[in-house]
Amino acid sequence: MLFYRLILSFCLCLFLESCGFRPLYMASENISNICYPIKIKTIKERNGQILRNQLLDLLTPEGQPEKPKYVLGIILTETIKAIGVNKDETTSRKEAVLTAAMSLSDAKSGKILYTHSVRSINSFEVISQDYYSDVVAQDYAKVEALRLLAEKIKLTISIYLDNQNEN
């Protein structure tokens, strides 16, 4: 019985390797240190600055390229919604929803090559409507949602560029 399990697991490994299977979320020396030839446009407001800085760290860790092949434009929208209500009808929990509408275009021609929308949601507890801790919790929830948004954008762009390089 052990012999059959060993043969089955060996065949499964061969099958996964032959079909081109690569885990997306697994850290790899090849993927994590790639510097993409992308210029990231300025994003409006403070949250846009935070998102742009995180994208610069993820997509171009060695700095912006001198001659970029692509230009990434992002329009960031943010919504704060009440999702939990106490018995006295005050808010007990809120949700920060950040959406990035991104477009990747050719740097030379300006032609849009790829558009996509990415969304990140993070919730936080509300102690009272007027406490400073609520403001801090909301800001922290936004920053964490922006970090997750930057990782999702990097993953989306990585998949798109990998598919373009294969074709």
Q: How high is the pLDDT of residue 32?
A: 46
Residue-wise pLDDT for 80-135, tens only, equals 998 888 888 778 888 999 999 999 999 999 999 999 999 999 999 888 767 888 88
* pLDDT at residue 19 is higher than 70: no
In angstroms, the Cα distances linking 81 to 10, 76, 92, 100 are 50, 17, 11, 17
Q: What are phi and psi of 107, to 5 degrees?
A: -70, -30
Is residue 160 packed enough to be buried (19+ CB in 10 Å), middle (13-18) or exposed (0-12)? middle
Domains of the chain and any CATH numbers = 38-166 (3.30.160.150)
* pLDDT at residue 35 is higher than 50: yes
Q: How high is the pLDDT of residue 49?
A: 95
Structure token digits, residue 7: 């043969």
Q: How high is the pLDDT of residue 64?
A: 81
Rounded (5°) CA angle 123-126-129: 135
Are 70 and 37 contacting, i.e. CB atoms less than 8 angstroms apart? yes
Q: What are phi and psi of 126, to 5 degrees?
A: -110, 120
Assign 163 a pLDDT band (cuts: 50, 70, 90).
Answer: confident
